[in-house]
Amino acid sequence: MHRSLIVALALVLSLSAFAQDRFDVDVHGNKPRGCATHSPSEAEADAMEEHTRMLISMIDKQSGGRFDVEANATTVTVQVWFHVIQNTSGAGNVTSGQIADQITVLNDSYSGLTGGSDTKFRFVLAGTTRTTNNTWFGAGYGSSAETQMKSALRQGNAATLNFYTNQPSTGELGWATFPSSYSSQPLKDGVVCDWRTVPGGSFSPYNEGDTGTHEVGHWVGLYHTFQGGCSKNGDYVSDTPAERSAAFGCPNGRNTCTGSKYPGDDPIENFMDYTDDFCMYKFTAGQASRAASLSATYRGL
């Protein structure tokens, strides 16, 4: 009987048509969110804590401590690989000084120096690659050129930040992958920014390096502040006021979710909105907490 079961299973398995890729990361899952409750922040925090405990216990048990989740660590240093793409006309040539400045902008933003909460993340340049390729230079979000570029250049593992600069022909300032995407699409992991957005670039008013800060925010697990519009869960961070849709410029006093349920003006000063670089300067404590939790779970950071 037992052998019959094994044969049955073998047959069932032989019919599955999924790719047999091997990935580096061991644990996959997402942070739960509170729901169906009138005190979302508390319930959410409880659920998050419980789930994180569970995942950490899974990591401890199954990976033999391959992920060192240090509960008491005050900071964690992210190794950053910078991949500079330029075209045959020489456009895209981000200087090493600009790369150093972008790293400094990340550290200033994530340490709270610019006025927000201190997150646990710090950044150090691990290496730089430089490639001349006209197709990759114009690679936009979701394009085959993006896949080729990343497959060829990616360094490190789930904990390594791969930061690509090019000039997307489809017009985005930048984009990033989320921590929970690493398990299914490890080669696509990382952030891409228009080269003119790095400090000293020409993409005014988006040339102070905050596109990098914003994209890395996604990479550590943050949503836009306008995620979900005025809905109860919003961006799943309780201390960012609800926001109906993206803000641009620097519209002081903008308040798109009104009424007693939605206290506070729109968080236009938050790095995870779409306002001008000079206007955005902070992460909240809730964002720091969410990013720490998701990055520990999925990136071993």
Residues 132-171 that bind another protein (CB under 8 A): 140-143, 168-171
Q: Tell me the longest C-alpha to C-alpha distance in the chain.
A: 72
Q: How many residues sit in the footprint of another protein (CB under 8 A)?
A: 84
Catalytic residue check, 215 = yes
Choose one: 46-54, 69-77, 93-101, 115-123; the region binding another protein (CB under 8 A). 46-54
Give min distance, CB of 220 to another protein, in A.
10
Choose one: 26-34, 90-98, 99-107, 153-161; the region binding another protein (CB under 8 A). 26-34
Q: Candidates 223, 238, 284, 292: give the one binding another protein (CB under 8 A).
A: 223
Q: Does position 261 bind another protein by CB under 8 A?
A: no
Q: Does position 65 bind another protein by CB under 8 A?
A: no
Of 70, 51, 78, nearest to 189 by C-alpha is 78
Q: Are 26 and 63 in contact (CB under 8 A)?
A: yes
Q: Does position 203 bind another protein by CB under 8 A?
A: yes
Q: Which is nearer to another protein, 104 or 181 (CB)?
A: 181
Q: Does position 98 bind another protein by CB under 8 A?
A: no
Query: Where is 288: in which H helix or E strand?
Result: helix 285-299
Burial (0-12, 13-18, 19+ Cβ within 10 Å), 10: exposed
| Residue listed under structure tokens 């902070």 | 282
Q: Are 190 and 141 in contact (CB under 8 A)?
A: no
What angle do helix axes 96-110 and 210-219 make, rounded to 10 degrees? 60
Of 129, 197, 209, 139, nearest to 162 by C-alpha is 129
46: left (phi over 0), alpha (psi -120 to 50) or beta: alpha
Q: Which is nearer to another protein, 92 or 190 (CB)?
A: 190
Q: Which is nearer to another protein, 215 or 269 (CB)?
A: 215
Q: Candidates 39, 41, 62, 258: give the one binding another protein (CB under 8 A).
A: 62
Distance in angstroms (rounded) separating the CA atoms of residues 133 and 191: 18
Q: Does position 298 bind another protein by CB under 8 A?
A: no
Choose one: 83-91, 101-109, 114-122, 224-232; the region binding another protein (CB under 8 A). 224-232
Q: Does position 195 bind another protein by CB under 8 A?
A: no
Q: What does residue 300 show for φ and ψ, rounded to 5 degrees?
A: 65, 25
Catalytic member of 146, 208, 215, 269: 215
Q: Does position 108 bind another protein by CB under 8 A?
A: no
Catalytic residues, which ones? 215
